[in-house]
């Protein structure tokens, strides 16, 4: 897989074990001076997931469920899915302690993409909080393509809303 924009990735260690990932002193530096660290807190119903934010997410799991959407700006189906993803996140914003939505840029967050072995986009991964998982979350499902992802988002919205 060759990326259009070159990235410089410095990783001391990446360990992948059955869908669980651990990062140590990781950092991503984008040569195109894009903002790649941190993520907006409470300014949106979805957040961009970076290596730093992902590491924090795994260290201190707060939400019962985390939804990761893998996409790219040049991907037509991904752009078609964006309004639906954001609408679902907005509809479930009141359940912020139960569920969190993250967007993962396929080109910029290569380490996260590789950790979950994402080979095509759009892709959606649902993580559930787990006391037995070594990193706090366990991969519940992975879904590819627009229509199955839309169906999964509708199912997630229904389950979370009914659980209240």
Radius of gyration of the chain (CA): 15
From 9, 11, 14, 75, active-site residue: 75
What's 40-100 look like in SS3? CCCCCCEEECCHHHHHHHHHCCCCCEEEEEEECCCCHHHHHHHHHHHHHHHHCHHHCCCEE
Is 8 marked active-site? no
Is 78 marked active-site? yes
Give the distance from CA 60 to its chain's centroid: 16
From 21, 28, 66, 78, active-site residue: 78
| Residues with catalytic roles | 75, 78
């Amino acid at each position: 897989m060759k990326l259009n924009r070159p990235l410089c990735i410095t990783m001391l260690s990446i360990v992948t074990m059955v869908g669980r990932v651990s990062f140590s002193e990781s950092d991503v530096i984008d040569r195109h001076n894009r903002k790649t660290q941190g993520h907006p807190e409470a300014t949106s119903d979805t957040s961009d997931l970076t290596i730093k934010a992902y590491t924090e997410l795994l260290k201190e799991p707060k939400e019962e469920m985390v939804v990761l959407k893998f996409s790219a700006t040049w991907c037509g189906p991904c752009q078609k899915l964006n309004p639906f993803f954001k609408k679902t996140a907005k509809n479930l914003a009141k359940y912020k302690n139960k569920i969190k939505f993250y967007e993962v840029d396929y080109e910029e967050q290569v380490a996260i993409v590789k950790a979950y072995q994402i080979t095509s986009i759009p892709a959606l991964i649902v993580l559930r909080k787990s006391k037995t998982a070594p990193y706090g979350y366990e991969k519940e499902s992975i879904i590819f393509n627009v229509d199955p992802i839309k169906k999964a988002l509708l199912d997630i919205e229904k389950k979370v809303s009914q659980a209240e």
